Chains A and B, each alone.
Chain A
Amino acid sequence: MRDTIARCETTAHAEGLAAGLTQALAAARDGFSPPGRVAALPADRVPPGAAAVRNRLAEREGIGCFVWPGREAERPHHVRPGHETERPHHDGASDDTTTEFAVLLGAVRLGATRRLLEHAVTHLSGRTVGGEPTLRKQLVLGTVADVMTGVEAARHALLTGASVPDAVADTHERLTELDWETTKLLGASGYLADGPARTAHVSRLLADCWVAAPGGTP
C-alpha cells in the first residue's frame, strides 16, 4: 500500500489530478463505490451510458462527473430516514474497498496540494511588496511552513489511518484546508479558472463525492 500511495502522489504531483486518479484506479480493488449518488472520475473512465452531471471546472481538469449507475432514483443522502443515514447498502459495494480508494484519492490530492504549494512559492518569489520579495513576508512564510507541515502530517495519516474511514475523511478535510491556505497565497491569480487553483476546487469536488464527511454527515 505504501508504494501505491507514493505512486499516486508522485503522478498527481507531476501530471495533475486526472493522471493521478487514473493511477489510483489502476491500483484500486474492485467493488468500491461512492458513498452518495454521484461520482467523479477521469473523463475517459466514466461508465458508458452514465447520466452526466455537468461541471465546468471538473471538465477542464479532465474529470467527468456522473450519477453512479443504478443510483439514479436514490434519494439524496440527507433525506434518508434516520436508520439509513450512515450509508445505504449498495449491491456489490464494500466499505473496505471504498475506504481504500479514498486513501488512494487522498494520495492523489496530496500530490496536487504539493504542486499547488510549489506554484505558490514560485509565484511569490517573483513578486515584491514594499520592495521586498512577497515570499519573505513572515505572514507568508508562516503559511508556507504550515502547509509544508500539513502535507507531511497528511501523508503519514494516510498510511497509519488507512483502515479507519473517519481518519481518512479527516485527512481529506485537512487537505481541503491546506489547498485553501495555499490558494490564498496566489492572490487573485488563485481565482482564475485557467490557473492552478482550479485543481484545488476540483480536488475538493472529488473528495466531496468519494468521501463521507469526518464523523459522518453532521
Chain B
Amino acid sequence: MTELDAPLRELRGMCREAARDLRTRALAVDADPADVERHLDSPTLTLIRVASTPKRFRADGSVDDGGYSGSCLARVIAGVELARGDAGLICANTGPSLAGVAVDALGSEAQQEAFYDAIADGRTWTFFGMTEPDRGSDATAMETRLEAAPDPADGMLLTGAKRYVGNASRGRIGVVFARTGRTALSVRGAVVRIPAAGYEATPLDMIGLRGARICAIDLNGVRVPREDVLGAHLPASRRGLWGIGRTFNVMRTQIASMALGVALAARDLVREERPGWSGHERVSARLDAALALLHDAAVQVDHDPDARRPPSVAKLHITDLAVRTTRWAAHALGPGAMLEHPLLEKWCRDVAAFEFMDGTSNIQRLHITHDVATRATAPRPSAGRVTTPTADRVTAPQGAA
C-alpha cells in the first residue's frame, strides 16, 4: 500500500479545502452549463488551470500548485478531493486539459509554446477531438481526413465529423485527430484554432457531468497550417495514436479519481445526514480500499508509464463501485432521496459519465486481459523476433473530457 508523505498529505488537505468552492457552484453549472464564464475566477478553477499547465508555460508563476503536477500519484490525490467538491466544474474549466496532454506528448517545442501562449489568458477553453459519430472505442478506424489542400499555401484540410467532444463549442483551440492515410500509423493530431471556416460545434444535451459540455463537431475542409500538425519531429511510429497512447494510462487514473471523488461525496452526504449511524462502514471500507488501489495504480504508472493493467483495473473497479455507491446512498437516505437531495440526484447522473470516458468497461476488460489473451493465442515466439505495433496492440485512445 502506498504511504502518502507529508507533502502529498498537504496537497490532499489543500485540495479538500479548495473543493468547497466547487461545491457551492455545482448545481448552478448543472442547471446551465453554458453559463460558466462567471465561475472562471473561482480560486479553485484558477488553481486547477495553473496546476495542469507545465511549469515553464505558466503565466502566473506565483500560484503554488502544492506539488499537483509532480506525479500521477499527486494528480489522483488532487483529482479525488476536487471531484468530491464537483466533477462537473472540473470539466467546465478553461485550460490545457486533454488537448494539453496531446500537445505535451506530440508537439514540438515551438508547437507547445504556441499552444500555451494561446491559452495564457486563463479564459480559453480547449478541446480534444478523437471520438466520431461512428467510431468511438475503435479510434484507430476513425474516418476524419487530414489532406493536403489543392493550393499548397493553404496547408492541410480537415474533413469529417467528431462527436462527444468536451467544450468544443466554446473552445478557441483544440487538437483534432484525423487520418492522413489508410494505416493506423497515419492518424495524426492537428491543432485547430477557432473561429475557423468550415468548423461548427454544437453542444449536445447531456444527462450529467453537464459542465463538460460535450459537442458534435462538423469539419468541412477546415484549414490547418502544416506547422500545426503535431508530431513531425517524432519517429513515424510515435507521431500519432501510438505517441499519445501511454498518456491514456495517466488519464484513466484521472477519470477513476473523479469517479471515486463523486462516490465519496455521496458517502459523505449520508454521513452528514445520518450522524452517528454506523451503516456506512462497509461502503466506507470499500471506498478506502478503492482509494488505496488507485494510489497503487498511480504509483505504478509513475514507475512505468506503459503499465497498462493497473490503471485499467482502477478505472474498471472504481467506475462500477462509484455507481453502486450512489445507489446505496439513495437507499440510505430513504424513499424519495433523489428528489429530496438535488446534489445526490446530480451525482447519480454525473457518475455514469466515467463509464464512457477514456475507454468503456469492456475496453478496460480487454486492456486488463490483453497479455493473457495474447499468451493464449500467439504462436511460440522465435528467439530475437522483433514485434512491430499492429492495430490490436494499440492502447486505442478513448476520449475524455
Seen from chain A, the residues whose Cβ lies within 8 Å of a Cβ on chain B are 34-40, 53, 55-57, 65, 76-79, 127-131, 134, 137, 139-140, 173, 176, 180, 183-184, 187-188, 190-194, 197-198, 201, 204-205, 208-213, 217-218
B266: chain A residues within 8 A (beta carbon): none
> B54 an interface residue at 8 Å Cβ cutoff?
no
User: B328-353: contact bitstring with A at CB < 8 Å (1 yes, 0 no)?
Assistant: 10111111111110000100110011
Contact B340 A76 (CB under 8 A): yes
Query: A197-B207, A217-B332 given as contacts; is B323 within 8 A of A129 (CB)?
Result: no
A209: chain B residues within 8 A (beta carbon): 335-336, 338-339
Query: A76-B333, A193-B207 given as contacts; is B339 within 8 A of A53 (CB)?
Result: yes
Size range of the chain B interface in the assembly = 35 or more
> B228 an interface residue at 8 Å Cβ cutoff?
no
Contact A183 B335 (CB under 8 A): no
Stretch with Cβ within 8 A of A (4 or more), from B97-105, B134-142, B168-176, B233-241 = B134-142
Contact of B335 among A134, A137, A190, A217 (CB under 8 A): A217
Q: Which of B163, B208, B273, B333 has most chain A Cβ within 10 Å?
A: B333
Contact of B332 among A198, A204, A218 (CB under 8 A): A218
Contact A187 B356 (CB under 8 A): yes
Complex Cα–Cα for A114 and B332 (A): 28
Q: Which of A55, A188, A190 has most chain B Cβ within 10 Å?
A: A188
A40: chain B residues within 8 A (beta carbon): 339
What would 9 more interface pairs be, CB under 8 Å, given A36-B340, A78-B274, A188-B356?
Answer: A36-B336, A39-B336, A76-B333, A130-B391, A130-B392, A139-B366, A197-B207, A213-B334, A217-B334
Instruction: Give the shortest distance, in Å, between A153 (CB) and chain B (any CB).
Output: 19
Complex Cα–Cα for A190 and B238 (A): 33
Contact A78 B333 (CB under 8 A): yes
Instruction: Give the shortest distance, in Å, between A202 (CB) and chain B (any CB).
Output: 10
Complex Cα–Cα for A213 and B328 (A): 9
User: B202-229: contact bitstring with A at CB < 8 Å (1 yes, 0 no)?
Assistant: 0011111000001000000000000000
A176: chain B residues within 8 A (beta carbon): 327
Instruction: Give the shortest distance, in Å, between A145 (CB) and chain B (any CB).
Output: 14
Nearest A residue (CB) for B399:
A188
Instruction: Give the shortest distance, in Å, between B177 (CB) and chain A (any CB).
Output: 16
> B164 an interface residue at 8 Å Cβ cutoff?
yes
Contact B332 A188 (CB under 8 A): no
Q: Which of B279, B345, B361 has most chain A Cβ within 10 Å?
A: B345
Instruction: Give the shortest distance, in Å, between B263 (CB) and chain A (any CB).
Output: 15
Query: A176-B327, A180-B323, A183-B352 given as contacts; is B205 within 8 A of A192 (CB)?
Result: yes
Complex Cα–Cα for A211 and B335 (A): 7
User: B231-272: contact bitstring with A at CB < 8 Å (1 yes, 0 no)?
Assistant: 000000000000000000000000000000000000000000
Seen from chain B, the residues whose Cβ lies within 8 Å of a Cβ on chain A are 31, 131, 134, 136-138, 141, 163-164, 204-208, 214, 273-274, 279, 323, 327-328, 330-340, 345, 348-349, 352-353, 355-356, 360-362, 365-366, 391-392
Nearest A residue (CB) for B352:
A191
Nearest B residue (CB) for A68:
B336
B323: chain A residues within 8 A (beta carbon): 180
Q: Which of A35, A129, A210 has most chain B Cβ within 10 Å?
A: A129
Contact A192 B362 (CB under 8 A): no
Contact A192 B206 (CB under 8 A): yes
Contact B335 A34 (CB under 8 A): yes
Instruction: Give the shortest distance, in Å, between A115 (CB) and chain B (any CB).
Output: 17
B205: chain A residues within 8 A (beta carbon): 192-194
Contact of A55 among B327, B337, B345, B362 (CB under 8 A): B345
Instruction: Give 29 A-B contacts (CB < 8 Å), ordered by A residue.
Output: A34-B335, A35-B335, A35-B336, A36-B335, A36-B336, A76-B334, A76-B337, A77-B337, A78-B337, A137-B362, A139-B365, A173-B327, A184-B355, A187-B360, A188-B131, A188-B163, A188-B164, A188-B214, A190-B352, A191-B164, A191-B356, A192-B206, A201-B207, A204-B338, A208-B337, A211-B335, A217-B332, A217-B335, A218-B331
A34: chain B residues within 8 A (beta carbon): 335-336
Contact A128 B138 (CB under 8 A): yes
Q: Which of B31, B163, B204, B214 has most chain A Cβ within 10 Å?
A: B204
Query: A180-B323, A184-B360 given as contacts; is B353 within 8 A of A191 (CB)?
Result: yes
Contact of A191 among B207, B335, B348 (CB under 8 A): B207
Contact A77 B137 (CB under 8 A): no
Contact B365 A208 (CB under 8 A): no
Complex Cα–Cα for A218 and B333 (A): 8
B214: chain A residues within 8 A (beta carbon): 188, 191
Query: A78-B273, A137-B362 given as contacts; is B333 within 8 A of A191 (CB)?
Result: no
Contact A129 B137 (CB under 8 A): yes
A213: chain B residues within 8 A (beta carbon): 330-331, 334-335
Instruction: Give the shortest distance, in Å, between A168 (CB) and chain B (any CB).
Output: 13
Contact of B333 among A77, A131, A180, A187 (CB under 8 A): A77
B353: chain A residues within 8 A (beta carbon): 191
Complex Cα–Cα for A38 and B338 (A): 10
Contact A205 B338 (CB under 8 A): yes
Complex Cα–Cα for A173 and B331 (A): 10
A217: chain B residues within 8 A (beta carbon): 331-335
Contact A184 B361 (CB under 8 A): yes
Q: Which of B163, B207, B328, B360 has most chain A Cβ within 10 Å?
A: B207
Instruction: Give the shortest distance, in Å, between A58 (CB) and chain B (any CB).
Output: 9
B273: chain A residues within 8 A (beta carbon): 76, 78-79
9 residue pairs, one from A and one from B, having the closest CB atoms: A77-B334, A36-B336, A36-B335, A213-B331, A38-B336, A193-B205, A35-B335, A129-B138, A188-B164
